Amino acid sequence: MTIVTENKDRPFVVMIGAANMDICGVPSATLIHKGSNPGTVSLSPGGVARNIAENLARLGIDSRLIAAIGTDYFGKTLLRQGQHAGIDMSHIIELEDQQTSSYLSVLDDGGDLLVAINDMTIADQLTCEHIKKHHQILIEASVIIVDTNISEEIFAYLADRYADQPIMVDTVSATKAVRIKPYLSSVHTLKANRMEAQALCGINISLTEMAKWFHQQGVKRVFITLGPEGVFYSDENENGTLTVPKQANAILNANGAGDAFMAGITYAWLQNWGLIKSTKFAMSAAHVTLAHIATINPEMSLKTVNKTLETDYVN
């Protein structure tokens, strides 16, 4: 196993999308529906773009976040915590009299999501005019990552103005994923789960056929996460499914695993790694996240991901 060493160059990545506060409830036993359940309730910073930014920052990458927050308690907490975690928060848009996004989730006693409610109203206040003010960092960014919480108008602008740069997309949900369908030719890397990928294709086909369809639209790399079944990866030269042995430690919270995976894929791209090595690294980053109750594992680092890389992966 080759241990990853930190890159001494300082490329930077710009994330555009959601920043919100995650409120997570976990029952201490099997959930009783339509009743009160003893358990734990935790509060932690979240939002797909923000989570990717923090994971990358903890991996040593210069991460710059563009997102809208309010000037309320949640917004101030997100700003303070992001700075503490190493994210460049100087491009955050603070909106007066707006409520910062929040995401309320209830997990089962195994750590998997049962139900969630998101209040992302403030995301509609993030406009192209806001994005245009950050042209300089966008044109200089090594990678631009967007989540589909942004409006179709913003994505159209990014696809038109920054198509020559690697634009990576996290599809977030099946409902929001379709916003990017007209602009897939400008997407370098797409990360989605099976349901989100199927929503974009519009038809129920195999993973290999889905990947072929995405490549025909112009997407260069596709990663379809399959939960406990692993990850399907594809570019124009190779594809396959990578699985790992059963998690040795209990899964405490699956909410942030996909965001850590996306951060891992981005980190690997900056190192110019191949597709399989990139997927292994990203899956290892996701497993680090699964082992902590918070959306972001505060122990996320190259050291902890390297340790997880020692797991025997199976193609």
DSSP assignment string, 264-312: HHHHHHHTT--HHHHHHHHHHHHHHHHTSSSSS-TT-SHHHHHHHTTS-
Q: Rounded distance, CA 201 to CA 250, Å? A: 34
Helix axes 207-217, 194-201, angle to 10 degrees: 50
pLDDT more than 70, % of the chain:
90
- Angle (CA) 240 163 262, round 5°: 40
Side by side, which strands form the sheet with 20-27?
Answer: 39-46, 20-27, 101-107, 113-119
pLDDT score of 2 more than 80: no
Residue length of the chain: 315
User: At residue 154, what is the residue type?
Assistant: I
Instruction: Give the pLDDT confidence of 240-263 residue by residue, as tens digits.
Output: 999 875 654 555 556 678 999 999
Asked whether the beta carbons of 221 and 234 are under 8 A apart, the reply is yes
Segment (H or E) for 90: none
Q: Would you call 11 helix, strand, or coil by DSSP?
A: coil
User: At residue 206, what is the residue type?
Assistant: S
Average pLDDT, integer, range 284-291: 88
Question: Structural domains in the chain?
Answer: 12-308 (3.40.1190.20)
Helix axes 257-270, 275-290, angle to 10 degrees: 140
Instruction: Give the pLDDT confidence of 80-99 residue by residue, as tens digits.
Output: 999 999 999 999 999 998 99
Q: Which residue's structure tokens are 């680090």? A: 288
pLDDT band at 111 (very low <50, low <70, confident <90, very high): confident
Q: What is the 3-state secondary structure (H, E, C) of 142-164?
A: CEEEEECCCCHHHHHHHHHHCCC
pLDDT more than 90, % of the chain:
73
pLDDT score of 283 more than 60: yes
Give the pLDDT of residue 252. 52
**Which residues are within 8 A (CB) of 80 and not within 5 positions of it... i.e. 6 or more apart?**
none
Other residues' Cβ atoms within 10 Å of the Cβ of residue 310: 9
Judged by average pLDDT, the poorest of 39-48, 68-77, 259-268 is 39-48
pLDDT score of 276 more than 70: yes
Give the pLDDT of residue 1. 47
